[in-house]
Amino acid sequence: MRTEVLTYMRGLALGTFNVSDEIPRNESAEPLYMKNPKTMYVDVAQFEDNPLINTLGGLSIHAKTTSLSVYFSVDAKNLPNNYDALVSSLLDARDLNTTEGFNDRSAEVSTSIEADMLVTEVTLSYTKLR
């Protein structure tokens, strides 16, 4: 899914934003998205497999959720003109891979202020019953 999200992001009208292939690791005790404002980083996929239904006959149905987070920072005092449109477009990435048979797709945005920077995290989650 990470590759699909990166490809989708590169197809957006990014304006002054960039997309990096790197994961949002720490470099010199500081996250890359803080060192490189307006550069978006996609974390590696996180997986969660939860049982929904277990039967006495051994049949079980699980919900497998794949989650990805996109991180970027901007100057909190001067938000770029396309900030809201970009976040909205990132939320639309929940609709990727409609042929994969996902039963649920969700997207969530959280923000925080760190050292005069507005850090935005967009979490995309895709759930499939199996």
Residue 75 belongs to domain with CATH number: 3.30.70
More confident: 102 or 97 = 102
Please give the mean pLDDT across all residues of the chain.
Answer: 91
Q: Are 74 and 117 in contact (CB under 8 A)?
A: yes
- State the pLDDT confidence band at 56, using cuts at 50, 70 and 90: confident
For the chain, give the percent of residues with pLDDT over 90: 68
State how many domains the chain has.
1
Rounded to the nearest 10°, the torsion over CA 95, 125, 2, 28 is 140
- State the pLDDT confidence band at 51, using cuts at 50, 70 and 90: confident
Write out the residue range of the structural domain in which residue 107 sits.
2-129
Region 32-43: mean pLDDT is 94
Whole-model pTM over 0.75: yes
- What is the pLDDT, as a whole number, of residue 103? 84
CB atoms within 10 A of CB 28: 5
pLDDT at 98 over 80: no
Query: Residue 91 belongs to what H/E stretch?
Result: helix 83-91
- State the pLDDT confidence band at 22, using cuts at 50, 70 and 90: very high
